Structure 1
Amino acid sequence: MKIESCSNSAMDKNYSGVKHSRRRITVQIIVDVIIWIAVSLVVIYLFLYGKPYKSGFFCDDRSLSYPSIPETISTPVLIAAAFTLSVILVVSVEILNCLDTKCRRPCQWTRDIVFCVKSYIVFMIGFLIQELVVDAVKNKMGVLRPNFFDVCKPQFNKTLCPSYISEYTCTRNEQDKEIRSSRQSFPSGHSALSMYIAVYFCVYIENRLLIRFSRLLKFFIQTGLVCTAILCGLERIKDNKHHPSDVIAGYVLGVTVAVFVHMLVGTKFAKTTSVGKKTKLNTNNTSCDLCCSCEQSPVLNPQTPTSALEDGYFLNMENGRSTSSTKLIALQNNNRNMSVTSEIV
């Protein structure tokens, strides 16, 4: 009866522990989702309705005298391409891992999907952070774009030239989105987002893509991502939307956010197993390539501790018997040799 009561109490404790753990995880998920939605609302408000600082200009400033031309890559196109590319990269990495010809065992799809979802959540967190920083700095600084004069067509007292002009009025409606955007040059949002995506997935591919059939594929994918991000920033200069300093600041911001998110969030939230290492208990000499993040689980003997002790005990007895029998045979051989020697003598 005492044994049954002890077992029941142990089961109750385990059940309560599992229930408490599930409750804690549920609370964490709810709180994190609420925080993410709250920050997202702030980002959307700053992006759509943020009022940039109304900065002045020098009336003979040639850096603001560029013509206004249609942009090559619009913001909706960039965002759509960013999310499409991110999904394609995640799926492609998993497919390449599974197609590795030296993978010795099947993929664990459930664990792979969970890891990919966690990694994508980390990516979304970084995306939200860089957008928040970009929109906040844009509205706080109010740096004028290179095509500001052509977009705003300001009216001011020209007798004050060539001094700094702080009192002016745009001939177009001040509530126009294009005029509001003409005061949001620094930093370049396109450059920051494209470089963030490039650096984040460079780190992701470096840690996740584990293939042996090519040594250059990973390098060329990472190089292509970085070059695409650089070209995206250069297009903004070509379209007279940003100054070179704005693009460089966007690059730095994207790299910083990607590394920051990976180090502080990614390494804790989306953990992956170590790969390329053989376990000590693996006796089949199969490589642990982590085919789609599969872990090499050691093969243990499914025996109870009592039987293991008994096996060890009997093994020692057998070793002892074999040792004693060996000694006995050696003594018999010595006696025979001695008797043969005495006969010869």
Structure 2
Amino acid sequence: MLFPLPLTIMLYFQLVIMAGTVMLAYYFEYTDTFNVHVQGFFCYDNSYTKPYHGPEESSAIPPALLYAVVAGVPTLVITVTESVLFLLQYTSKALDSREKTIVTGDCCYLNPLVRRTFRFLGVYTFGLFTTDIFVNAGQVVTGNLAPHFLTVCKPNYTALGCQQALRFISHQEACTGNEDDILRARKTFPSKEAALSVYAALYLAMYITCTVKAKGTRLAKPVLSLGLMCLAFLTGINRVAEYRNHWSDVIAGFIIGVAIATFLVVCVVHNFKGKLLLTENPPQDNMADTPMINLPRVESPLEKYIASQNHIAFAEVT
């Protein structure tokens, strides 16, 4: 199957979009290009005086583990599933009349297995970085404070004049604690861990449900899908239990992850209902088997004249 030039251009355009998405996520995550909004607080506000359980690496679900799971598990599951489906179809059907290679442009040849795997994983990766961008944008714009903010901020209440009355502190110099801990404590809404975990779980659950059609999986697929969603839900609960996020942060993260995963699955990959791995060649048109439509025959004036002359000649002979 030869893809025309406009489709090849669209593939390159999609690669540019993916590169731009990755770069934007990088600037949000690892640079100070976007300044975090400085949100004020009231003196002795009990909503922000929860204990601090140490840096993110000391959490029960550290960022390294979370990122490895959301990146590695879907990649492994989709690759293995597509390979198994391809091998089952490859060995169960005749291969003489099957299409086994797809030509992209004039130089690149892609096996149907590679094409489907890259399609599903590419959309998943795009959604993963998009989720990260949405979450980081929300954190930068809102600057919502973590439940342990005042614990790491360590404000000097005497110098701030909090002895006489309840005051609202709005300037950044009010904190005397570690600057990195304070910056992280200002970026909690929405919860990144909740958004990434539920996005990966929902995308993978919908992939398993829509793709695996083997007999005997009527209960296995729901159990596996609900198990994935349960792990994502426990990730959000852990964030609240360790006083790293509020319930509102976790719920907002869940909404973002669910919305992006649902949109990509339904509108982009169409519930994973792509072409078969080995598609049959289209049958040739057989005009002999096509019934003809019977239309009334209209004689031309010339035909009528010839017929009348033949009738007269026949009468003279007889």
Letter in 1 for 2:208: I
Equivalences for residues 292-311 of structure 1 within 5 A: 293-295=277-279, 297=280, 309=288
State the distance in 2 between where 1:22 and 1:74 align. Answer: 47
- For residue 306 of structure 2, what is the aligned residue in structure 1? none
> Is the aligned partner of 1:54 residue 2:38?
yes
2:6 aligned to which of 24, 30, 48: 24
- For residue 88 of structure 1, what is the aligned residue in structure 2? 76
RMSD: 3.0
> Is the aligned partner of 1:158 residue 2:158?
no
Letter in 2 for 1:91: T
Residue range with higher mean Cα deviation, 37-46 or 188-197: 37-46
Q: In the TM superposition, what whole-angstrom CA distance separates every residue of 1:118-171 from its partner, at most 9, and x where no partner exists?
A: 000110111121111100000000000011112121233213642322235221
Residue 294 to residue 217, structure 1, CA distance change in 2 (3 Å)? farther
2:24 aligned to which of 36, 39, 42: 42
Please give the TM-score of this superposition, normalised by the length of structure 1: 0.68
Residue 144 to residue 212, structure 1, CA distance change in 2 (3 Å)? same
> Is the aligned partner of 1:171 residue 2:176?
yes
Equivalences for residues 1-345 of structure 1 within 5 A: 21-48=3-30, 49=32, 50-69=34-53, 70-94=58-82, 97=85, 104-105=92-93, 110-155=111-156, 156-159=160-163, 161-167=165-171, 168-173=173-178, 176-267=179-270, 271-273=273-275, 293-295=277-279, 297=280, 309=288
Percent same amino acid among aligned pairs? 26
Specify the structure having the higher radius of gyration (Cα).
1
1:159 counterpart SS class: coil
1:154 counterpart SS class: coil
* Contact kept? 1:148, 1:182, Cα under 8 Å: yes
* Contact kept? 1:143, 1:186, Cα under 8 Å: yes
Structure 1 residue 271 displacement after superposition: 5.0
1:240 counterpart SS class: coil
Structure 1 residue 99 displacement after superposition: 8.7
Residue 55 to residue 106, structure 1, CA distance change in 2 (3 Å)? farther
* Contact kept? 2:210, 2:273, Cα under 8 Å: no
State the distance in 2 between where 1:272 and 1:138 align. Answer: 37
Structure 1 residue 58 displacement after superposition: 1.7
* Contact kept? 2:39, 2:170, Cα under 8 Å: yes
State the distance in 2 between where 1:121 and 1:99 align. Answer: 22
What stretches of structure 1 of length at least 5 have no aligned partner?
Answer: 1-17, 274-289, 314-345
Structure 1 residue 100 displacement after superposition: 7.5
State the distance in 1 between where 2:235 and 2:196 align. Answer: 10
Structure 1 residue 96 displacement after superposition: 5.8
Letter in 2 for 1:29: L
* Contact kept? 2:21, 2:126, Cα under 8 Å: no
State the distance in 2 between where 1:228 and 1:117 align. Answer: 26
Residue range with higher mean Cα deviation, 164-173 or 29-38: 164-173
